C-alpha cells in the first residue's frame, strides 16, 4: 500500500489540533514511520496502537480504514473526531500492570508503537517483558512496528547529555538503542527480526517554537526536508531516531 503523507495532512485538517500536526515542518517527522507502516496494513486489519497518547498514530490508522484499538494510560486523549469513529476503541491501561496487556492471545494483525518502548521502564515496566507480551497478543505471522526509538548515536541526545549538568536545554532519554540492542531484544522475545533503520537527523519538535507562518511555508518546509534527507543519508550514524520491525513466528 502506497501512502502519501502530503495528502494525509491535507485530508486531516481537523487533526491540526493535535500537537504533532500543529505545523507541517514538525509533522514531517512522521512521514517515514507512516509510509513504512502503510506497507503492513491490510484490508479489515486489526491494529493495536500501543501507548496511544493523544491518538496521532490512531489518526493515521483510521485514515487507512483499520480497526484500531488505542491502548494507553489515563483517559482517552483522542479528539472526538477519532473517538466517534466506529472503527475506533480506546482501552485504558492499568498503571498497576505496566507490562500485562488486557487482550487475548492472537488478537491483532499488527501492533504499532511511536516513541513508547524506550519509556516503559519509567512506569515500572521493562522492554523485554513488554515485547514478550506484544508477541503473545499478535496473530501468527503478525508484525510489531516500533518507531521513534532513540538511536544510540543521536547527536542531539549527546549534545543534551553533555550540557545537562550545566543547563537544561532539552530532554535526554535514559535509554537509547543500537541495532545490536534491537536484535537481542527480538531474539530474547521470540520475534523474528525483519527490518531496522535510522531517520530524522534534524530535530523537528523545536520548530514548534517558530511561527506557523514560517513552519507551514512551502519553501521553508521543502528546504528543511531536503537538508534533513541529505544529512540523514550522509551521516546516518548520528540520526536521532531509529525504527525496527519484528514478526511473530508463524
pLDDT of residue 151: 97
In the predicted model, is pLDDT for residue 79 greater than 80?
no
In the predicted model, is pLDDT for residue 101 greater than 90?
yes
pLDDT of residue 169: 58
pLDDT band at residue 64, thresholds of 50, 70 and 90? very high
Q: Note the pLDDT tens digit of each residue in 164-185.
A: 666 565 667 889 999 999 999 9
Q: Note the pLDDT tens digit of each residue in 120-147.
A: 887 778 999 999 999 999 999 999 999 9
Q: What single string gives the DSSP state of each residue in the chain?
A: ----HHHHHHHTGGGGGSGGGSSHHHHGGGHHHHHHHHTT--TT-EEEEET-TTSHHHHHHHHTT-EEEEEESSS--S-HHHHT-TTEEEEE--TT-SS--SS-TT-EEEEEEES-GGGGGGGT--HHHHHHHHHHHEEEEEEEEEEEEEBTT-HHHHHHHHHTTT---S---S--B-HHHHHHHHHHTTEEEEEEEEE--S--GGGGGS-HHHHT-HHHHHHHHHHHHHHHHH-GGG-SEEEEEEEE--
Residue 31 belongs to domain spanning:
5-248
CATH number (domain holding residue 179)? 3.40.50.150
Domain count, the chain: 1
Amino acid at each position: 500500500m502506497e501512502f502519501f503523507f502530503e495528502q494525509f495532512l491535507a485530508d486531516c485538517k481537523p487533526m491540526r489540533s493535535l500537537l504533532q500536526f500543529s505545523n507541517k515542518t514538525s509533522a514531517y517527522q512522521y512521514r517515514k514511520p507512516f509510509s513504512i507502516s502503510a506497507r503492513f496494513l491490510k484490508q479489515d486489519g486489526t491494529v493495536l496502537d500501543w501507548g496511544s497518547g493523544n491518538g496521532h498514530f490512531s489518526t493515521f490508522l483510521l485514515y487507512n480504514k483499520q480497526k484500531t484499538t488505542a491502548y494507553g494510560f489515563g483517559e482517552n486523549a483522542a479528539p472526538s473526531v477519532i473517538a466517534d469513529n466506529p472503527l475506533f476503541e480506546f482501552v485504558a491501561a492499568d498503571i498497576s500492570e505496566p507490562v500485562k496487556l488486557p487482550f487475548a492471545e492472537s488478537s491483532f494483525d499488527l501492533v504499532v508503537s511511536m516513541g513508547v518502548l524506550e519509556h516503559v521502564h519509567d512506569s515500572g515496566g521493562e522492554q523485554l517483558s513488554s515485547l514478550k507480551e506484544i508477541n503473545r497478543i499478535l496473530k501468527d505471522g503478525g508484525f510489531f512496528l516500533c518507531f521513534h526509538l532513540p538511536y544510540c548515536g543521536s547527536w542531539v541526545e549527546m549534545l543534551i547529555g553533555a550540557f545537562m549538568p550545566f543547563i537544561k536545554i532539552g530532554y535526554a532519554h535514559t535509554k537509547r538503542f543500537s541495532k545490536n540492542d534491537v536484535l537481542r531484544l527480538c531474539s530474547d522475545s521470540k520475534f523474528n527480526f525483519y527490518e531496522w533503520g535510522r531517520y530524522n537527523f534534524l530535530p523537528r519538535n523545536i520548530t514548534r517554537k517558530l511561527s506557523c507562518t514560517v513552519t507551514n511555508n512551502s519553501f521553508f518546509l521543502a528546504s528543511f526536508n531536503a537538508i534533513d534527507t541529505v544529512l540523514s543519508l550522509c551521516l546516518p550514524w548520528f540520526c536521532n531516531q531509529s525504527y525496527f520491525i519484528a514478526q511473530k513466528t508463524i
